[in-house]
Amino acid sequence: MKVRLSTRFMLVLVIPLTTGCWDREELSDRAFNLAASADITKDGTYLTAGQFIVPSRVGQGTTGGSGGDKPFFIETGTGKSTMEAIQKTRQKLSRIITRGHRHNYYIGEDLAKNGIHDMLDAFSRDPSNRIRLDIWVVKGNTGLEALQVPYPLEKIPSVSSVKIHKAVGGTTGTSYLDFMKAASTEGSSPTLPVVDIVQGTSPQKTIRFYGRAIFNHDYKLVGYLNFVEGAYRQWIRRRISYFDLTEDIPEANGNVGVILTKFGSSMKSSVLPNNKVKMDIELTGVGHVGENNTNWDLSEQHNLMLVQQTINMKTSDHVRDMITKVQKQFGTDVLDFNQTLNRQHPREWNQLRGQWDTIFPDIEVNVHVRIRLKYIGLVGPSLQLKESEIKK
């Protein structure tokens, strides 16, 4: 009996030591950072901003574009480095910044052109930054303004960038990780997704997914790929889930719109004499006809095959034009050519890796697109055509 009482007494003494947390922070002491931005000013100082949630307003039904009390606020800071600028922001907040829910980080175009090496160094050292973070370049504008743009469909406007990117077939939550991997891979150059600010419902502006920002080895912005060019690049890299395209069909005096939902990509490299490299790229896709603005009856197999052939030929040319732009205008390998050569010809790659920046612009590239149109919809020709106007 005495042993049982002693055991119970010891358990009572141990309980306070095994429950709770000595250094806990209450939720009411945290400022939840949902998005942030970084810019460089004309005098060379950094301007950082954070978008913080106001928990008491989240359930009130207001949105970023509806006016009234918004469920968020924005605070800024300036300094000679991003770390100092963030510290200036902290001096204005009554709570400790928590970044576990942050999904988006916007970089102004001027800062991107100036270089983001120093910013990324501080970024990678901070364990509170999520690895599944999307970093965006704001084309023609500042990161702060991207944070300030309202978006009527979301309570927190910064959420819109990720959702728009996903809706148009892109991958989300990978741009920070992809950037760091490309930056640390010999021969590769990093890219980031791009948004720009455009006129929406007058007089309100809105945010739009634009394409990809191309960086050099010094982490400086050198140019952009627009939405379609960026989609072709993602197709090559197997990072796309949805894409629609429209091509003119000269023989049919109109155009046909196609929606692609299945994608494939393969690259074959070869090393020619005098250190010349050749890449053969084959892109495959399966889709259906979403629009037929010709007088052809696409239920006729020969008409459908002619449309498919024209789309494949023209898309091959468009992809080749994008690759030429990357090679000649930017001179940065954002297409994984280096990794393909390394994987398929490791011995040759070890000999060429130190010269890759001079070899890449002159690589001979052949592109073959093979799209298969599986469905044409419920009708063959356009319903508004008369029988005499339809070409069988």
37 touches 146 (CB < 8 A): yes
**Confidence (pTM):** 0.86
- pLDDT the model gives residue 15: 60
- pLDDT the model gives residue 65: 44
- pLDDT the model gives residue 66: 44
DSSP symbols for 277-316? EEEEEEEEEEEEEEEE-SSB-TTSHHHHHHHHHHHHHHHH
Q: Sign of the CA dihedral 222, 228, 229, 235?
A: positive
172 touches 162 (CB < 8 A): yes
d(CA 238, CA 303): 30
d(CA 111, CA 349): 34
Block mean pLDDT (10 aa), the chain, length 392: 58 57 59 89 94 74 54 90 88 80 91 92 79 92 94 84 88 87 91 93 86 96 97 95 93 91 96 93 95 87 93 97 98 96 95 94 97 79 55 58
Please state the domain extents for the chain: 27-225, 240-392
Q: 381 preceded by cis ω (within 30°)?
A: no
Which architecture characterizes domain 240-392 according to CATH?
A: 2-Layer Sandwich (3.30)
